[in-house]
Amino acid sequence: MTTANGRSMVALLLALAVSACASSGGSNSPDVADTGTYETRQSACNALSQDECEASDECEPYLARLPESACPYPEVPMQQEYFGCHELLTCSQAATWAHPSDSPDDWYLFNDMCIPEGWVAGDWDEACGSGCEGLAQADCEAADHCFPVFGAPLLDGCISGDSQYAGCWTGEKHEDGEVVGISCATMVTWAHSADAPEEWYVFADSCVPDGWVSSEVDPCAPVCPGTHPWLTEPQSWKCDLPEGTVCSWPAEGCEPGQKPDNVCTCVEYGGKMRFECERPFHNCLPLEGSDVPEGTLTRPLPAHRETAGACGPEIAPRADVVCDNARDGIGSPENECVSDADCEGKWTRCLDSWVGGGDGGTLCTCQTADCLTDADCGTDELCRCGTTSEAEADWCGGPLEPGCMHECIPASCKTDDDCPGNQLCSPSKGMCQWRAVSYHCHDPEAAECFSAWECMGEDSWGCNFENGKGWLCQEIPMCD
């Protein structure tokens, strides 16, 4: 008894036979549409010849190149071998190397990722091996799939030598087993063999010998240091680059784009080349004293006021201290006082004071303290402690600000506890950075600078507060 499925298969085979006869006559193309299940249609495609398969609208052929033409892409199309027919599928166009399961050494290159059932896919390295790498010039020229590559070695002083044979190229560029290029780009390329990284060659295009490491950057071009000079040469900032060279580094410790880059320019200064850097030093480094691994670069803490203590004992006149300094070298003594008894008012002393600046000298003058504690000052002030002795009085105030007794100064905070989060109550210093002139909350995240360290110089630059602008790096006049 013949079943329905049996009758269908007989009908299919008869149809294929008719198609084959018609195909031999060249008048009709096979049609396997509507022949049943996928397996049935696949079986129908398998039975077709190459011409029939290529003529069918429902089937397509497995076509592949032999290994000798599969590894180097030739300049002209090569003969492809037919390995059967399969139902029309959507296959990735990526070329695929494969071999029959029982012939692991017989590699073929298929046009797409569709390969015959039972075949094993592989990659370039498995199918083609090392290509033309390491061949001598004569052997490279003799191989049909290899091409000799010529380059000029870079000699001492970065002078290009005469062009010479550098190595052999397979005619393809590969990355991770994938073909990424089959022609040479017109661009100057520098390269070196993997085992001689110091021996650079320059090539006229992008094709370099197999196994070589290439670069589009001239190895002789000036290279900026890998680290900002403030971190490596905080004293000299030496620059070995041509004048006008601009170097930049990502903000230290920051996420990309979190803060601007740090930029320096190579300039001539005093007959020598040095970096001139933009301030402040942009960074997101942890603060000094943070719980970080040993050796981690941290930001120094600025001066800050943890508590509001008293400025020493009550200031009383001293009967046993005599001040007898005279102005140096410009005429008769002009002392205002000789002892504390010569001075009037509460908390007053007769102290040595530097006056005049320039060719000025020291004089004995009456100096008066404003306060002993914050309570002696106004609501928006605090008591900045100074000196009440001869030992520091002459220089504490600087040449244009004689004296340095305790003083009430403006303050938007009086201790760290008055500031939100991890902000500190820090002093902003006046001329020459010798004494505090006000106190303000200092935010390590929002401020342009958190200490003089970020202004890249304790002596000539300082981090000071400016009303309406906050904490800024400011150049400090030299005060001798």
Residues 110 and 158 in one domain: no
Residues 147 and 235 in one domain: no
Residue 408 lies in a domain: no
Residues 175 and 117 in one domain: no
CB 252, CB 282: distance < 8 Å:
yes
Residues 93 and 143 in one domain: no
pLDDT at 203: 93
Residues 41 and 86 in one domain: yes
Rounded CA-CA distance 148/165 in Å is: 7
Residues 23 and 112 in one domain: yes
Residue 7 lies in a domain: no
Residues 192 and 272 in one domain: no
Q: Would you tell me how many other CB atoms lie within 10 Å of the CB of residue 342? A: 15
Residues 107 and 169 in one domain: no
Residues 49 and 106 in one domain: yes
Q: Encode 180-205: b = buried (16+ Cβ within 10 Å), e = exposed.
A: eeeebeeeebbbbbeeeeeebbbbee
Residue 168 lies in a domain: yes
Name every residue whose Cβ is closer than 8 Å to that of residue 78 and which is 6 or more positions away in sequence: 65, 69
Residues 158 and 195 in one domain: yes
- For 157, the token pair is 């002083």
The tens-digit pLDDT sequence of the chain (480 residues) is 333 333 333 333 333 333 333 333 443 555 665 556 777 888 889 889 999 999 998 899 999 887 666 565 554 556 788 999 988 887 877 778 899 999 888 888 888 888 998 899 887 667 776 568 888 999 888 876 678 999 999 998 788 899 999 999 877 655 554 555 556 788 889 999 989 988 999 998 888 998 899 888 788 878 899 999 999 988 889 998 989 999 999 999 999 999 999 999 999 988 999 999 999 999 999 999 889 998 899 999 999 999 999 998 889 888 888 887 766 545 555 788 889 999 998 899 888 776 655 555 677 888 899 999 999 999 999 999 887 776 554 445 444 455 678 999 999 999 999 999 999 999 998 877 778 899 999 999 888 999 999 999 756 789 999 999 999 999 887 665
Residue 380 lies in a domain: no
- For 226, the token pair is 């890998």
Residue 102: domain span: 17-128
Domain total in the chain: 4
DSSP annotation of 432: G
Residues 174 and 271 in one domain: no
pLDDT at 244: 93
pLDDT at 322: 87
Residue 316 lies in a domain: no
Residue 12 lies in a domain: no
Q: For residue 182, which of 247, 109, 268, 267 has the smallest C-alpha distance?
A: 109
Q: Which helix (H) or strand (E) holds 229?
A: helix 229-232
pLDDT at 476: 82
Residues 167 and 206 in one domain: yes
In this structure, what are the phi and psi dihedrals at residue 289, rounded to the nearest 5 degrees?
90, 0
Alpha helices in 48-136 (DSSP H): 50-55, 67-70, 124-128
Residue 10 lies in a domain: no
pLDDT at 228: 95
Residue 332 lies in a domain: no
Distance of CA 445 to the CA centre of its chain: 21
Q: Would you tell me how many other CB atoms lie within 10 Å of the CB of residue 15? A: 15
pLDDT at 234: 85
